[in-house]
Amino acid sequence: MSRKMLINGERNGSNEEETCYDFDLFVIGAGSGGVRASRTAAGFGAKVGICELPFHPISSEVVGGVGGTCVIRGCVPKKILVYGASFGGELEDAKNYGWGVNEIVDFNWKKLLHNKTQEIIRLNGLYKRLLLNSGVKMLEGEGKIVSPHEVELTQLDGTKLRYSAKHILIATGSRAQRPPITGQELGITSDEALSLDELPKRAVILGGGYISVEFASIWRGMGVTVDLFFRKELPLRGFDDEMRTVVARNLEGRGIKLHPGTSLSELIKTEDGIRVITDHGDELMADVVLFATGRAPNTKRLNLEAVGVALDGRAVKVDEFSCTNIPSIWAIGDVTNRMNLTPVALMEGTCFSKTVFGGQPSKPDYNNIPCAVFCIPPLSVVGLSEQEAIEQAKGDILVFTSTFNPMKNTISGRQEKTIMKLVVDAETDKVLGASMCGPEAPEIMQVSICVLKTFVS
């Protein structure tokens, strides 16, 4: 049911054929990137349509929801659980400050889960209103590209509709992956971990990235026994080595059992839970096994190969302006597997709209993007790590490190140091990178960057 219409129009005095489309822009996927691109494009006067799957906290090929991963099953619910878990450590710390904390601490997982779900339902509604108020036409269903200017939308009841658009933007994000080990169906991903009916007593986590250390902290803060397995000697490959060491020490200090250089080879269901067998042949029992082993771009059902959109593995290949090899088809966010962070998807969305509808060709700038890992206590970094600076800097570098005992810990007795590091170009005194691991590190880093930007620019 395409409403594509061909009219004869005159442009620049020539008798060119001009095409009239249903939309100037059709966006597939209403996560952080898609919503930002839609709203900014509409702000430039474009007629925008956006499609998204029906809402569900656990994503699949057929459910998703306006707001996407960050809002529904990523940053937002994760941070709510991190806040919830942080009270565990705070209660411990409170004792030496004179607070009588009874032996039995009653933590109600179901209550937190309910409140978390209510919040993401609220945000889902808020995002829908944002789109509506921006004049973006929202459509529920699965989008599939059928030609360089056409999207087929399959609605919940199976009805198929076709829409034409001058530009199509793919913003379908990514989904958590399971490693190919025997019994992998017994494990869960972060989607399910954010919506578990019961809080496990014993959790095993595989992976050494963001999600693994964040969930290890969440569960441990709630009193769960946590065993964390990762392939390298330290978690958080790619971050500053000194910071990685501090994070590992802090995780252990909070009672998480680390298993470096170890992966899992098999999961077996038993009456007592899941028997976990490591690649060293060791065994342990768990109620829940979380795979935090990375995410893959959502491109499978978009029909991209048929339309001729070039892929790089499962990611959509794009140029510096987020355009694919087909000039009318663009892609932003995790589906392009460039830098998989929400603020980056937002930046890519804004640049796309400026380029295509704002008359201001804009390339996303991937330099000095701050990021935060919400383990407890958190880690936040911007710019180069010490190792990257050694490899990339032209001249000498200076490294300033400060490690100290936060005053709060002197009374509480918590053995946990805060560490800050600045990597500086020795000749110009220019800061090349900054890292901090300690309480409120993300906020401190964010404020520092804002202050620097204000006074330096």
Yes or no: say if 402 and 266 are a contact pair by the CB < 8 Å rule.
Answer: no
**In angstroms, what is the minimal distance from the CB of 345 to ligand NDP?**
11
Q: Does 237 bind ligand NDP (CB under 6 A)?
A: yes
Q: How far is CA 92 from CA 87, 97, 188, 315, in A?
A: 9, 10, 30, 45
| Closest to 29 in 3D by CA, of 60, 51, 6 | 51
- Give me the torsion for CA of 152, 296, 109, 54, rounded to 10°: 0
Q: Does 209 bind ligand NDP (CB under 6 A)?
A: yes
**In angstroms, what is the minimal distance from the CB of 152 to ligand NDP?**
29
Q: What are phi and psi of 284, to 5 degrees?
A: -150, 165
Q: Does 56 bind ligand NDP (CB under 6 A)?
A: no
**In angstroms, what is the minimal distance from the CB of 218 to ligand NDP?**
12
- Give residues 216-235 in contact with ligand NDP (rule: CB under 6 A): 230-232
- Interface with ligand NDP (CB under 6 A), residue from 123, 247, 292, 397: 292
Q: From CA 432, how far away is CA 382, in angstroms rounded?
A: 9
**DSSP type of residue 126:** H
Which one, 65 or 333, has the nearer CB to ligand NDP?
333
Q: In the numeric block, which tokens belong to residue 346?
A: 């937002």
Q: Does 293 bind ligand NDP (CB under 6 A)?
A: yes
Q: Where are the alpha helices (H) located in 134-205, listed in sequence order?
A: 190-193
**In angstroms, what is the minimal distance from the CB of 180 to ligand NDP?**
7
1 alpha-carbon distance from chain centroid: 36
User: Residue 79 annotated as binding?
Assistant: yes
Number of residues binding to ligand NDP, judged by CB under 6 A: 24
Yes or no: say if 211 and 190 are a contact pair by the CB < 8 Å rule.
Answer: yes
Which one, 31 or 49, has the nearer CB to ligand NDP?
31
Q: In the numeric block, which tokens belong to residue 160?
A: 């198929």
Which one, 77 or 141, has the nearer CB to ligand NDP?
77
**In angstroms, what is the minimal distance from the CB of 212 to ligand NDP?**
6
- Give residues 417-436 in contact with ligand NDP (rule: CB under 6 A): none
User: Residue 281 annotated as binding?
Assistant: no
**In angstroms, what is the minimal distance from the CB of 82 to ligand NDP?**
10
Q: From CA 326, how far away is CA 149, in angstroms rounded?
A: 10
* Residue 155 CB burial class (10 angstroms; 0-12, 13-18, ≥19): middle
- Interface with ligand NDP (CB under 6 A), residue from 117, 263, 446, 448: 263
Q: Which residue is nearest to ligand NDP (CB)?
A: 209
Provide the CB-side half-sphere exposure for 70 (13 A, CA): 21
Residues 302-341 vs ligand NDP: string with x where CB under 6 A? --------------------------------------xx
Q: Does 295 bind ligand NDP (CB under 6 A)?
A: yes
User: Residue 390 annotated as binding?
Assistant: no
- Give residues 132-161 in contact with ligand NDP (rule: CB under 6 A): none
Go through the chain and tell me how many residues it has: 457
Maximum alpha-carbon separation in the chain = 84
Which one, 141 or 209, has the nearer CB to ligand NDP?
209
Which one, 175 or 414, has the nearer CB to ligand NDP?
175
Which one, 214 or 240, has the nearer CB to ligand NDP?
214
**In angstroms, what is the minimal distance from the CB of 264 to ligand NDP?**
7
For the packed helices 109-133 and 32-43, what is the interaxial angle rounded to 10 degrees? 20
Residues 355-374 vs ligand NDP: string with x where CB under 6 A? ----------------xxxx
Q: From CA 420, how far away is CA 435, in angstroms rounded?
A: 6
Helix (H/G/I), strand (E/B), else coil: 27: strand
**373: CB partners within 8 A, 6+ apart:** 210, 213, 214, 236, 239, 247, 379, 380
- Give residues 374-393 in contact with ligand NDP (rule: CB under 6 A): 374
Yes or no: say if 60 and 44 are a contact pair by the CB < 8 Å rule.
Answer: no
User: Residue 312 annotated as binding?
Assistant: no
Residues 160-199 vs ligand NDP: string with x where CB under 6 A? -------------------x--------------------
| Closest to 30 in 3D by CA, of 74, 69, 56 | 69
Q: What's the angle, vertex CA 84, arms to CA 79 and CA 89, rounded to 5?
A: 115
Binding residues for FAD: 79, 143, 172-174, 334
Binding residues: 79, 143, 172-174, 207-214, 294, 334
- Positions touching ligand NDP (CB under 6 A) are 179, 206-212, 214, 230-232, 237, 263, 292-295, 340-341, 371-374
